Amino acid sequence: SVVKRAVAEVAQHDKVPHPVGFVPPPPPCPGKIRHFKI
Amino acid sequence: VPAAPPAPLGCDDPESEAAAEVAVSYINGHSHHGYKFALNRIENIRVLPQGPNNDIIFLELDLLETKCHILSPTPLANCTVRSFTEHAVEGDCDVKLQKLDGKLSVLASKCHSHADSSEDIIRLCPDCPLLARLNNTEVLTTVTAALSAHNSKTTDAYLRLLEIGRANIQYHPVRTVFVEFAVAATNCSAAEAKDNAEACQLLPDDQSNFGFCTASKAIHPSRDLIVDCQLYGHQVPTPDIPFLSRPGVTYSQGQDTS
């Protein structure tokens, strides 16, 4: 029988895997700490 | 197809850093008490386009107090940030800027400063001196004694207190009071002041000569006072930013500038 797979499942299977070593870009903010955080 | 909106600015992008630099320069240029602050972190940036080459920018900045008093002519880049073990003071600032035809200007700023928690300092450095309130009796006594000791030894102008900038008390191994205060030269020599110090007035703005003193005094067991005062020499006052003109004003953390 034909069963419709859940979208999430499809998305998961069809999602293009990240290339090995892929590092997601840092979040745009907050920025770098120049001295120290109190 | 309409052009995709520009990607949001990152907090470490060059444009964000340029805006933060203008904001910090404005904050230090419009502060009349305490110390210069340096940028520690850009917490957030929001850009609201108003039209061609016209953006409103909202910045959230995390600043740290430096060792340079606000009256010091030392460039901010040469001002050392007070370290964690010296009981750092942080400034949180919200700044609104406009970028018009590539030129940045500050429209408004609001800052709130607060010292690091004493518990954090003690946990990592049990013997580090902790910030004391500026009206603490031992602090006031040490400042008065230090200024008097300097004026009794100097051959230069008689100095008056402008404001107490900071005070720390170390409890171990010897109870010691450390103070920093801003001073100004008067129209008397120290010798003339011995006769009638009340007659000595601060020099007018066009001749003003500000300075900065540090002093420390071990209380138990009592030891000699150590005082060091340095005058900056005459600086041309910036017309739209009046220098301190109320001697004896003390600076309290948490004072908003808006």
Give A31's contacts in chain B (Cβ within 8 Å).
10-12, 16, 41-43
Query: What is the pLDDT at residue A4?
Result: 52
pLDDT top residue among A20 and B225: B225
| Angstrom distance (rounded) from CA B86 to CA B211 | 22
Cis? peptide before B173, omega within 30° of 0: yes
| Angstrom distance (rounded) from CA B5 to CA B195 | 73
Contact flag A33-B41 (C-beta cutoff 8 Å): yes
Does pLDDT of A19 surpass 90? no
Query: What is the pLDDT at residue B109?
Result: 97
pLDDT band at A25 (very low <50, low <70, confident <90, very high): confident
Give B16's contacts in chain A (Cβ within 8 Å).
31
| Angstrom distance (rounded) from CA A24 to CA B46 | 22
**Low-confidence stretches of chain B (pLDDT beneath 70):** 236-258
Both structure tokens of B13 = 């992008």
| Angstrom distance (rounded) from CA B111 to CA B29 | 13
Query: What is the pLDDT at residue B250?
Result: 34
Query: What is the pLDDT at residue A3?
Result: 55
The phi-psi region of residue B128 (left if phi > 0; otherwise alpha if psi is between -120 and 50; otherwise beta) is beta
Does pLDDT of A1 surpass 80? no
Query: What is the pLDDT at residue B244?
Result: 40
Cis? peptide before B221, omega within 30° of 0: yes
A26 to chain B: closest CA residue: B10
The closest CB to that of A31, out of B8, B11, B38, belongs to B11
Both structure tokens of B176 = 């010691």
Closest CA to B156 of B184, B114, B119: B184
